[in-house]
Amino acid sequence: MHRALITCLWLCFAALAAAQDHTQLVKISDSIYMAKTVSNVYVVTTPEGSVVIDTAPAKPAPEAKRLLAEHVHGPVKYIILTHGHADHIGGIDLWKEPGTQVIAQRNYVELLNYVTRLDGFFAPRNAAAFGRPVEQAGPWPGNFAAKIDPTILFDEKYEFTLGGLKFELFSTPGETPDHLTVWIPAYKIAFMGDNYAGAGMPEPMSFPNMYAIRGTKPRWALDWVKSIDTVIALKPQILLNGHGDPMTGNAEITRRLTRYRDAIQYVHDQVVQGMDAGKDVFTLMQEIKLPKQYDLSEVFGKVSWSVRGIYDGYAGWFDANPSSMYALPASTVYPDLVKLAGGPEPVVRLALEKIANGKPVEALHLTDVVLAGDPQDADALKARIQALEVLQKDCENFVEEGWLTYGITKARKELSSSAGK
Ligand SMILES: [Zn+2]
């Protein structure tokens, strides 16, 4: 992928989250409109009132509502949340009227509690991943402190009819365990949240994030596969996603969803077969590649991270090495290794050789060894910045790009504070 496009995707993602003037109104049909923003908001009108599907992040939500307002007929009877990620639930209060029912799949409650429970953990990681300043988390709110808006929670399926129009809601876990798909049989339209095109990527679509490295529970591959099958079986003519543009035509929708599903299934099965053959997670991260036939980029989700996500999701943290059973990590003895090498200089020299020989990751590990003993060793920090910049030059994934930038910024900060001493 072109560096300019990655930067664009990265900037678009970060900038759109804050901007409001990118919000556009899109007509899907006479009774369905979309506010296209960092994550889409849909309004479906019926003779007896309207249904809102997803509500955007808090910042662009008022603009999305303003654009959609003239297409809302009668009271807002239902707000449906395809899942509980912040970029879909930020505008709930703007749409809620007396008597509005808010619908979500039952796992929404735990998803929101989980995110709130670990806010202090996620806040700096989200800030690092998206290049934002860290917002100070408040005191620990406890285990069950999330604001839960839904008034209707369902397990497998929920349906209602409004103004003669039937809405069917299916539990379709994938990117999150609470994902749901909204199906309007009369229009053959499905709304599938972020289970496809998690970040609204243009073709060739990206492989999904089976594990988002900002930190998440494993996203279960086989659930995701089954959920995509559920949507394919509905035979939609129009597919509306949480991000990006509508997809139209059943043949094209089926082609793209099938490709996506098969890619997830392929990676999952390769991991499981590798595990059963006794292979360790790092071997599989190196070995498993997506066959060309799937024609999916790794701009958003990285296959190697997904391999590890699936492996660790099944097996947890223990790697069958007795050394790993104890609280002392390998890095405890890094300063001893530096001493054995005769000081940091030869280790840093080796790191620079690795960079010159196209092995920037090995160089990074070597700088870890030096910095474990002295976090402000200037030469090790400089080598580290070089290694990170080399990795960034070839980076195709905008999440990885964000973390590399974070690493460079952090090393530069250490370097300037070491120079001040
Ligand atoms: Zn989203």
Rounded Cα–Cα distance for residues 17 and 278 (Å): 43
pLDDT reported for residue 9: 40
20: how many CB neighbours lie within 10 A of its CB? 16
Pairing of strands 189-191, 238-240: parallel
Q: Is a pLDDT exceeding 80 seen at residue 296? A: yes
Reported as a single tens digit per residue, the pLDDT across 363-416 is 999 999 999 999 999 999 999 999 999 999 999 998 999 999 999 999 999 999
Q: Is a pLDDT exceeding 60 seen at residue 14? A: no
Rounded Cα–Cα distance for residues 47 and 28 (Å): 18
Q: How remote is the CA of residue 89 from the centroid of ligand 1, in Å?
A: 10
Q: Is a pLDDT exceeding 70 seen at residue 7? A: no
- What mean pLDDT comes out for the span 244-252? 94
Which residue stretches of 140-239 are H helix?
221-233
Q: How remote is the CA of residue 333 from the centroid of ligand 1, in Å?
A: 42
- Give the CA distances from residue 252 to residues 174, 247, 258, 274, 389, in Å, rounded to whole numbers and listed in that order: 21, 8, 10, 33, 39
Q: How remote is the CA of residue 87 from the centroid of ligand 1, in Å?
A: 5
Q: How remote is the CA of residue 54 from the centroid of ligand 1, in Å?
A: 10
Q: Which two tokens stand for residue 316?
A: 């947890």
Mean pLDDT of the chain: 92
Q: How remote is the CA of residue 206 from the centroid of ligand 1, in Å?
A: 15
Q: Which two tokens stand for residue 267?
A: 């990676």
DSSP string of 171-189, one letter each residue: E--SSSTT-EEEEETTTTE
Q: How remote is the CA of residue 215 from the centroid of ligand 1, in Å?
A: 16
Query: Which pTM value belongs to this model?
Result: 0.92
Q: How remote is the CA of residue 274 from the centroid of ligand 1, in Å?
A: 32
Q: How remote is the CA of residue 414 from the centroid of ligand 1, in Å?
A: 34
Q: Calculate what percentage of the chain has a pLDDT beyond 70.
A: 94
Reported as a single tens digit per residue, the pLDDT across 161-176 is 999 999 999 999 999 9
Q: How remote is the CA of residue 14 from the centroid of ligand 1, in Å?
A: 13
Q: How remote is the CA of residue 200 from the centroid of ligand 1, in Å?
A: 9
Q: Is a pLDDT exceeding 50 seen at residue 327? A: yes
List Cβ neighbours of 283 (8 Å cut-off, separation of 6 or more).
274
Q: How remote is the CA of residue 88 from the centroid of ligand 1, in Å?
A: 6
pLDDT reported for residue 263: 97
Reported as a single tens digit per residue, the pLDDT across 77-108 is 999 999 999 999 999 999 999 999 999 999 99
pLDDT reported for residue 204: 79
